[in-house]
């Protein structure tokens, strides 16, 4: 049981890391991209735009914290 808990903590730290908001944004982007792709609409632009937006928000939050 201890090794399972350690394994879970590793993956939580690896995926979520320091900012849970970015992890939620990535999951939301993937879900939205999948949902929109099922309609047949071109959605190649959504992931890069989301990554750029998440980067800006994360950097702004990090620089305000200092």
pLDDT at 32: 95
**Residues of the domain holding 58:** 17-65
pLDDT at 44: 93
Q: Tell whether 41 is covered by a domain.
A: yes
Question: Do 49 and 43 meet the contact criterion of CB atoms below 8 Å apart?
Answer: no
Overall domain count for the chain? 1
> How far is the CA of 33 from the CAs of 6, 19, 21, 57, 59, in angstroms?
32, 22, 18, 20, 24
Q: Tell whether 30 is covered by a domain.
A: yes
pLDDT along the chain (66 residues), means of 10: 90 83 92 94 94 93 80
pLDDT at 55: 93
DSSP 43: -
Which residue matches tokens 């702004």?
A: 60
pLDDT at 66: 65
């Amino acid at each position: 049981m201890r090794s399972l808990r350690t394994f879970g903590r590793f993956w939580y730290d690896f995926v979520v890391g320091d900012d849970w908001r970015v992890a939620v944004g990535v999951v939301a982007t993937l879900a939205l991209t999948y949902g929109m792709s099922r309609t047949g609409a071109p959605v190649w632009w959504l992931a890069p735009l989301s990554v750029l937006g998440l980067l800006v928000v994360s950097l702004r939050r990090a620089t305000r914290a200092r």
